[in-house]
Structure 1
Amino acid sequence: MVTVVGNQPVEYSLQKLMEAFPVDERTFTIQCASSGTSVETWRSISVADLIIEAEIPDTATHLLVEGGDDYTAPVSIHDAMNAYLGLIPVSDVTGAPRLLGRNLTSEQAVQHVVRIDWLELAANEDPLTYASW
C-alpha cells in the first residue's frame, strides 16, 4: 500500500494505482550507492498526479518519501513534480514501488515506497534534517 498525505489523503495498492492513473513505460538511469549505475525500464505513474489527487497544499516545499524499511528522503516539490513512481520493473530488478526521476539523487530513489508526506520548510531550513538513511 502507498499512502499519500495531503488535504485529501489517499491510499492505494499497486493494482489500484495502475487502475487510477495513466501508466507509462519509462527508462531511468539509476546511480545506486551500493551497486553502481543501472539502466532500468519501469511501468510508472506521474508523482504530479498523486500530488494533485491527494491535494498536497500549494505551500509544500518538499515531499518526504518513506520506504518500507523506514528509509526517508526529502525531495523538492519541483523535482517531485517531474518524478515518477515505478510500479512494475520491466527488467529483472526489485524495489517496487520506487521513486524515479532524472533530477533525483541516488538517496532520493526510494525503494518500496509506502508513504509520501509533505513538508513546508523555511528558506533557511535544511531538508536533509528530515532524511533517514
Structure 2
Amino acid sequence: MRVPSPLHKILEPAEDDPRLDPRAASHHDVIVLDQDVRSLSSFVHDANASHARLAEDLEEMHRRVDWFEAPSALQNRVVDLERQVAQLQGQLDLLLRLQPPPLAVVRPPAAQPPPADPAPAPQRSPEQVLVRLE
C-alpha cells in the first residue's frame, strides 16, 4: 500500500476541494510551503550546530586518547633508539678491530748535554808560560 506524501496533498486536491489549475498555487499553499522551508532550514541549522558540537567533542576525545598513547609511543621510540645505539656500537667495535695497529713511534735519542770540559788546567804563572814558548 502506498502512503501519500504531504506534497501529494498539495498537488492533488481533495474530493471536496474545487478543481484548480495545478500550475497555480493559492496564497495559503505559498504560506504553508514557506513555513515548511523555514522549518527545514531550522532543522538543517540545528543539525549543523549539532554536527559542529560533535566534531569538537571528537577532537577533545582525540586529544585525551593521544595523551594516553604518547607514553607508549615514547617507550617504543626509546626501545628503537637503544637498538640503534647497540648496532652502532657493534659497527664501531668492528671498525676498530679492522683498523691496522699504529706504527711504532721511533723517538729521537734524548738530547745529551754538551760534554763537560775536562778538568780545568791548573793556572800557570807567567814565567811558566814564557818557558814553554821558548
TM range (shorter): under 0.3
Higher relative strand content:
1
TM-score, length basis structure 2:
0.15
TM-score (norm 1): 0.15
